[in-house]
Chain A
Amino acid sequence: MRALTRKLFRDLWRIRSQAAAIALVVGAGVAMYVLMLSAYASLGLTQDAYYEQHRFAHVFASLVRAPRSLEADLRALPGVRAVEARIVVDVTLDMPARTEPVSGRLISWPEAGRPRVNDVFLALGRLPEPGRDDEVLASRTFAVANGLGPGDAVAALINGRRRQLRIVGLALSPEYVYAIRPGELVADNARFGIFWMGQRALGAAYQMEGAFNDVALLFEPGASERDVLDGVDRLIEPYGGLGAIPRAQQLSHFFLQGELDQLDGMGRIVPIVFLSVAAFLINVVLTRLIAVEREQIAALKAVGYTNREVGTHYLQWSLLVALAGAVLGIGAGAWLGRGMTSIYTEFFTFPILEYRLPPVVIVQGLAVAVAAAIVGAVGAVRRVVQLPPAEAMRPEAPARYRVTWIERAGLRRWLSQPARMVLRHMTRHPGRAVMSTVAIALSGSLLVVGLFSLDSIEVLLDAQFYRAQRYDALVTFVHPRSASAELDLARFDGVRMVQGVRAVPIRLRAGSRTRYAQITGLETGPAALQQVLDGLDHVVTLPPEGLVMSRKLGELLGIATGDTVTLEVLEGARPVLVTTVSRLIEDFMGTNVYLSRDGLHRLMRESRVLSGAVVTIDPARADRVYDALRQTPAVAGVAVKAAMLQNFRDTLAETIGITRTIMIVFASIIAFGVVYNTARVALSERGRELATLRVIGLTRTEIARILFGEWAVVTVLAQPLGMLLGTGLAALLVRAFDTEVYRLPLIIAPRTYVFAMATVVLAAVVSGLVVRRRLDHLDLIAVLKTRE
């Protein structure tokens, strides 16, 4: 090994704790990168393969009823490779073990062969045999959550008749990777099951022999999505078509893709924060190292080492530190990525979800670490190169200090001597003080960004489940019913209040833009069980005319309050009307359109027709109510608010602890790395000064105050900045989550700010204490004898 290389390793070993602190910051950044991008790769590659192998549809459409002959017309559309016409119906299941009603979705299974589109993966058992009308495949997640398997039976209320479904196999479908019911926050695998049932049997039960009510299509390569969607809409329109939607809007895919986009986006942004801080720390430490080794640099140059050789020597130092960090980060990232992927298996259902760490991610992880090392080192190394050897031979000129503007402003006489030293030292390296402040602020901001969503969700739940939904359950009917259904429900033992709800599928047109939605007619007035909120707490009085709609829907259609829209009703006589938008509301789930119920009836030119009802229930008799609802043929589904809320909280609890821990550890690494390194550098620069003060008679605590005063000021200044940055980043994140399916309000609770600040301050104090130990062991004589 060359002598210069040996010097490199020994120097590195000498300041190993500082190098380690920097390597940790690099490691944290690389770990984040590897974690998110390997999870992205694992999930993404699995998704691609699964979609491909099981022919996941590109376009989905529901309709009322069309003859099977239409399938050929759909198949003939340009750009369509395959069509699967199906019968899809939602039913209630009778699961004795569950108090709240459980819903099932029945999908027809072809009588011969397998589905051409949206094929399933058979996890256990066998496929239903043709002609065996009671045999079904059940979704594995539902079966597992309810302790069911092949051979078990589930009772379902199918078109008013109670039937036993015999499970012969457990299946997974690319259509239900995330099996969430519309209108819910998270998937509830115990209360929502998918079943595949023979086409003939299902068709017979719903008078759909030779007909279908749902279609899924697969594209030819290079097909135009727009053209296919239009073509499908045109063909299904006469059959009660409810509008074709592209894969991007399919719920399961939307959630999965949302997670992937988030991993990819965060995986590319978050590491930048860490690596910028690492570059800054490398700069600070290397600059000091070079100052300490001025005379060695001079000697190297005098001996005849070229500027390039000497510069490379110091660059290698930073590269070694960064690479050590990168290796650590790749290890930690792979470990965390594996953990994250295994958490995903609980949320997303794939036949197999293997953890994959693509070599390119490792290479990129190393590359970004190297880039940070070079960026951090370049300024310091340039100084080495530019240092004239003759000048390097002489000791560095005494640092220039100035009276600070704070002192000049008249505060001088109020400041103690140590306070003046702290101030002057900070203003001597203003860039460093500013960068340290920003770096510590970043650590605080990461915590805010990592944790604020809990506050938002909490407020959102409160608004959604308590202020907007003042009912206990939402009952939906199989078919629209007359107003007497309200009275029928009210007669159930235990039901306290009933309010009918009218919901009508519609297509909205504004200029060239169209959007499918549902218009909901609700009771109005203070007694209304379902309120419409604008924002978190402003109750909107629904007008009889003029639509109230989600701000997001207005954006998608490019319309504002007062604008007119064309409203095509996709039910009954399918009237087409022109109406106005009376108000855009800030809401957080789905794209909603509201009117008062009476207004909607008038618009539909119908008498009081109900699609469902919201009810309040006496808690003591809830079981009885749910039992009765289960037995009622007209009921297609019951959404129990308390169960939804509980399921959501359970899901959140599973993941939030891990997220919180990771955020705290990683943010603390930054705060620790910054304070520890900058304090060590300050100690090295000012050791002589501090030793002199000790000789003069200052106590250890007094000199510690001088050394740490600067870091106390920086840490304190960093707090408001960090909270501001965190709030800004959170706002960006909220904007990124502004989707058709869900949105988040920007709510950051005071406790989140307090927690973030406390964590950062704690990390700073701990690193200060570590340096303090060094300060206490300062060898006065040795320090004073050393030539500066």
Chain B
Amino acid sequence: MSQVPDPLVFTVRGLTKVYHMGEVDVHALRGVDLDLPERQMTVLLGPSGSGKSTLVNILGGLDTPTRGTVWYRGDDLTHAGEGALTAFRRRRVGFVFQFYNLMPSLTALENVELATEIADDPMPAVEALARVDLSARLDHFPAQLSGGEQQRVAIARAIAKRPDVLLCDEPTGALDLATGVTVLQAILRANLDLGTTTLVITHNASIADVADRVVTMTDGRIATDRLNPARRDVSEIRW
């Protein structure tokens, strides 16, 4: 850990998101302020509907806010066009989703190549899969892999492009404990080895101890925000 405060990757101010669902307006975010420094591993906790996914989607350029601003290293993402957001995702962001979102018709290796083929300076797909301990499963299709393995393919796909930011939305949500641990280890290793700024959503508080920082959200607002004095090793987690 560097003693000097790392420069900020994300600066978020007054972020608000309203979904119009038929005749009702759903306020997913109600004015969020947040700074995410470089290399930090942040865990975002909170119950369902607290706005975690909306925040992560906006940070990752998948969604745009109703009001408020997001700066990525000084660039205003909120006023970026569709093309700029796509380029941002392509170059800077790695996503990991709860349900893996792999292409069922492509093998593990091919799913990772999907990302490396369009990245500027990717690591070899094989290396990305080795980092998540899947060297033996390169030619397996998603249907031939366990849930944990599928999620590790998704992580390999996310880190293969050497992203600046790794955004994970409930990466262990669909997995049992033991499998979840291997997945988290993979994410942590990426954070440590590659120095990727990482934000992990979960509604499971026991993951919090492995992070540098724990942010909790309730009802579209940030409720608590604390730094962990020391990160626990992932193998010590129980839930």
- Chain A positions within 8 Å of B, measured between CB atoms, are 2-4, 6-7, 10-11, 14, 295-296, 298-307, 309, 388-390, 393, 787
Say yes or no: is B97 at the interface (Cβ < 8 Å to chain A): yes
Say yes or no: is B62 at the interface (Cβ < 8 Å to chain A): yes
B residues in contact with A3, CB < 8 Å:
103, 106, 110-111, 113-114, 117
Given contacts A3-B110, A296-B101, 11 further A-B contacts (CB under 8 A): A4-B117, A6-B106, A14-B105, A296-B102, A296-B104, A298-B62, A301-B86, A302-B93, A302-B101, A303-B89, A304-B119
Q: Are B99 and A787 in contact (CB under 8 A)?
A: yes
Report the bound CA distance from A300 to B113 in whole Å.
12
A residues in contact with B87, CB < 8 Å:
304
Task: Count contacts between A and B, CB distance < 8 Å.
Answer: 93
Report the bound CA distance from A443 to B57 in whole Å.
48
Say yes or no: is B27 at the interface (Cβ < 8 Å to chain A): no
Residue in B90, B97, B110, B113 whose beta carbon sits within 8 Å of that of A304 in the complex: B90
Say yes or no: is B157 at the interface (Cβ < 8 Å to chain A): yes
Residue in A303, A309, A787 whose beta carbon sits within 8 Å of that of B95 in the complex: A303
Report the bound CA distance from A300 to B91 in whole Å.
13
- Name A's interface SS: helix
- Chain B positions within 8 Å of A, measured between CB atoms, are 53-54, 57, 60, 62-63, 82-83, 86-87, 89-91, 93, 95, 97, 99, 101-106, 110-111, 113-115, 117-119, 157, 161, 169
Q: Are A7 and B86 in contact (CB under 8 A)?
A: no
Output the nearest chain B residue to A400 by Cβ-Cβ distance.
B22
Q: Give me 26 A-to-B residue pairs in the complex whose CB atoms sit less than 8 angstroms apart, sorted by A's number.
A: A2-B113, A3-B103, A3-B113, A3-B114, A7-B105, A7-B106, A7-B110, A10-B106, A14-B105, A296-B102, A296-B104, A299-B97, A300-B103, A300-B114, A301-B62, A302-B89, A302-B93, A302-B101, A304-B91, A305-B90, A305-B118, A306-B83, A389-B62, A390-B63, A393-B97, A787-B99
Residue in A10, A301, A304 whose beta carbon sits within 8 Å of that of B105 in the complex: A10
Q: Are A296 and B90 in contact (CB under 8 A)?
A: no
A residues in contact with B62, CB < 8 Å:
298, 301-302, 388-390, 393
Residue in B63, B102, B118 whose beta carbon sits within 8 Å of that of A388 in the complex: B63
Q: Are B82 and A307 in contact (CB under 8 A)?
A: yes
Q: Are A303 and B83 in contact (CB under 8 A)?
A: no
Report the bound CA distance from A559 to B173 in whole Å.
87
Output the nearest chain B residue to A304 by Cβ-Cβ distance.
B90
A496 to chain B, nearest CB (A): 82
Report the bound CA distance from A596 to B126 in whole Å.
99
Q: Are A2 and B63 in contact (CB under 8 A)?
A: no
Report the bound CA distance from A486 to B198 in whole Å.
113
A residues in contact with B89, CB < 8 Å:
301-304
A residues in contact with B99, CB < 8 Å:
295, 787
Nearest first, the 3 closest Cβ-Cβ pairs linking A and B are: A304-B90, A299-B101, A10-B105
Report the bound CA distance from A304 to B119 in whole Å.
8
B144 to chain A, nearest CB (A): 14
Q: Are B93 and A304 in contact (CB under 8 A)?
A: yes
Report the bound CA distance from A299 to B115 in whole Å.
10
Output the nearest chain A residue to B112 by Cβ-Cβ distance.
A3
Q: Are A304 and B115 in contact (CB under 8 A)?
A: yes
B residues in contact with A300, CB < 8 Å:
103, 114
A residues in contact with B117, CB < 8 Å:
2-4
Report the bound CA distance from A296 to B95 in whole Å.
13
Residue in B63, B104, B114 whose beta carbon sits within 8 Å of that of A303 in the complex: B114
Report the bound CA distance from A302 to B86 in whole Å.
8
Q: Are A304 and B118 in contact (CB under 8 A)?
A: yes
A residues in contact with B118, CB < 8 Å:
303-305, 309
Output the nearest chain A residue to B105 by Cβ-Cβ distance.
A10
Q: Are A7 and B103 in contact (CB under 8 A)?
A: yes
Report the bound CA distance from A2 to B109 in whole Å.
12
Report the bound CA distance from A309 to B83 in whole Å.
12
A232 to chain B, nearest CB (A): 73
Output the nearest chain B residue to A300 by Cβ-Cβ distance.
B114
Q: Are B60 and A302 in contact (CB under 8 A)?
A: yes
Given contacts A11-B105, A302-B62, A304-B91, whether A393 and B115 have CB atoms under 8 Å apart is no
The residue among A3, A11, A14, A299 with the most chain B CB atoms within 10 A of its own CB is A3
B residues in contact with A2, CB < 8 Å:
113, 117
Report the bound CA distance from A135 to B150 in whole Å.
92
Q: Are B90 and A303 in contact (CB under 8 A)?
A: yes
A473 to chain B, nearest CB (A): 75
The residue among B60, B82, B106, B161 with the most chain A CB atoms within 10 A of its own CB is B106
A12 to chain B, nearest CB (A): 9
Q: Are A299 and B103 in contact (CB under 8 A)?
A: yes
Report the bound CA distance from A14 to B91 in whole Å.
32
B207 to chain A, nearest CB (A): 21
Q: Are A390 and B57 in contact (CB under 8 A)?
A: yes
B residues in contact with A309, CB < 8 Å:
118
B73 to chain A, nearest CB (A): 17
